[in-house]
């Protein structure tokens, strides 16, 4: 089967704790609600792609515990193929997400077993090379670089979910062709506080476009030398968990159907806005009809 998008990166079983007030040092804060949900950056992006009509495949590692099995089932139920993924001894990747009831902002405390890292030799090169796009994050770095090289040789667009800066970030950034960065990254990578100048400094010849998500201020895109900024949709935020991942999934959908840059950002912003009105990551993924109702005619 030829897939529209193949993803390599994070999956996670999330314990979501809602609190009536923000987390503060040395405070004792009551929990107002507790739920166990499923997510992970790339897993949520692929679930979004599948919800919006793409054939999506996830290549990663699941723990062989009950949580790992449940997460695999959750992705399959949402239309994401996991047949090329690996089961391995160890606890599944997990996170505790603390959500502020008042603002919807969240704090993520994550836990990963290094034994669950995807290895470069476990990547099915033919599956990636026959896809229309590859999506990666910075979780399984060796596998990400190897997969990106396969995709680049095949001429595929390579989108990314990068939200932190470390010694490996420049190499990862050079490996992808459509970087989608968290708001803090351009300044952290360049030392330039002005977003437009920072994006232009980061732009490389191998980048088709470069995008940065801006939360309540929408998103910005440099393509190829023209800057686009589309504001966010105003919604009541219940939980911002997964909104950036949903943005990336909708971005991939719009990109593959050939939308212009402004239309790509509008569509992705609308999807992310809907995600913010729901709790959790996979559970926040919108449908195509829901996105259309939010977009202007």
Looking at residue 297, its pLDDT comes to 62
Mean pLDDT calculated for residue range 244-265? 97
Looking at residue 243, its pLDDT comes to 92
Looking at residue 12, its pLDDT comes to 85
Q: Choose among 203, 200, 147, 197: nearest CA to 178.
A: 203
pLDDT in tens, 62-86: 988 888 888 999 999 999 999 999 9
pLDDT band for position 227 (cuts 50, 70, 90):
very high
Q: Look at 18-22, 61-65, 222-226 and tell me which has the smallest mean pLDDT.
A: 18-22
Does 23 have pLDDT greater than 80?
no
Q: Compute the 3-state secondary structure of the chain and give helix, strand, coil in percent, each to the nearest 5.
A: 40, 25, 40
At 194, give phi and psi (nearest 5°). -75, 120
pLDDT in tens, 113-135: 788 889 999 999 999 999 999 99
Looking at residue 15, its pLDDT comes to 83
May I ask the CATH architecture of the domain 5-10+40-85+114-294?
3-Layer(aba) Sandwich (3.40)
What ranges do the domains of the chain cover?
A: 5-10+40-85+114-294
Looking at residue 97, its pLDDT comes to 82
Looking at residue 94, its pLDDT comes to 78
pLDDT in tens, 163-173: 888 888 888 89
pLDDT in tens, 279-288: 888 889 999 9
DSSP state of 90: S
Single pTM value for the model: 0.91
* N residues, the chain: 297
- Sort strands 94-100 and 12-19 into parallel, antiparallel or unpaired: parallel
3 state SS of 233:
coil
CB-CB contact of 53 with 253 (8 Å): yes
Long-range contacts at 274-278 (CB < 8 A, ≥ 24 apart): 274/235, 274/246, 275/242, 275/243, 275/246, 275/247, 276/104, 276/235, 276/237, 276/238, 276/239, 276/240, 276/243, 277/235, 277/236, 277/237, 277/238, 278/238, 278/239
Q: How many CB atoms lie within 10 A of CB 172?
A: 19
- Tokens 């559970």, residue? 283
pLDDT in tens, 92-113: 777 788 888 877 777 888 877 7
């Amino acid at each position: 089967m030829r897939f529209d998008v193949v993803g390599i990166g994070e999956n996670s079983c999330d314990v979501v704790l809602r609190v009536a007030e923000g987390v503060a040092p040395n405070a004792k804060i009551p929990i107002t609600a507790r739920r166990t949900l499923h997510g992970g950056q790339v897993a949520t992006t692929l679930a979004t792609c599948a919800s919006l009509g793409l054939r999506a495949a996830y290549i990663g590692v699941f723990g062989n515990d009950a949580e790992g099995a449940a997460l695999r089932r959750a992705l399959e139920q949402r239309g994401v193929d996991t047949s090329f993924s690996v089961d391995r001894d160890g606890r599944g990747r997990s996170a505790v997400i603390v959500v502020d009831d008042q603002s919807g902002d969240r704090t993520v405390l994550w836990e990963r077993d290094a034994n669950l890292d995807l290895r470069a030799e476990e990547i099915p090169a033919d599956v990636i090379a026959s896809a229309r796009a590859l999506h990666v994050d910075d979780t399984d770095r060796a596998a990400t670089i190897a997969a990106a090289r396969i995709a680049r040789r095949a001429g595929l667009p390579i989108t990314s979910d990068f939200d932190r800066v470390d010694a490996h970030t420049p190499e990862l950034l050079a490996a992808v062709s459509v970087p989608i960065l968290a708001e803090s990254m351009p300044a952290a990578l360049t030392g330039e506080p002005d977003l437009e100048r920072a994006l232009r400094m980061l732009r490389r010849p191998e980048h088709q476009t470069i995008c940065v998500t801006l939360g309540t201020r929408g998103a910005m895109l440099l393509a190829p030398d023209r800057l686009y900024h589309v504001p966010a949709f105003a919604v009541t935020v219940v939980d911002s968990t997964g909104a950036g991942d949903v943005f990336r999934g909708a971005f991939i959908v719009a990109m593959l159907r050939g939308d212009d840059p402004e239309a790509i950002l509008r569509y992705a912003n609308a999807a992310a806005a809907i995600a913010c009105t729901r709790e959790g990551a996979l559970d926040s993924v919108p449908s195509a009809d829901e996105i259309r109702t939010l977009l202007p005619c």
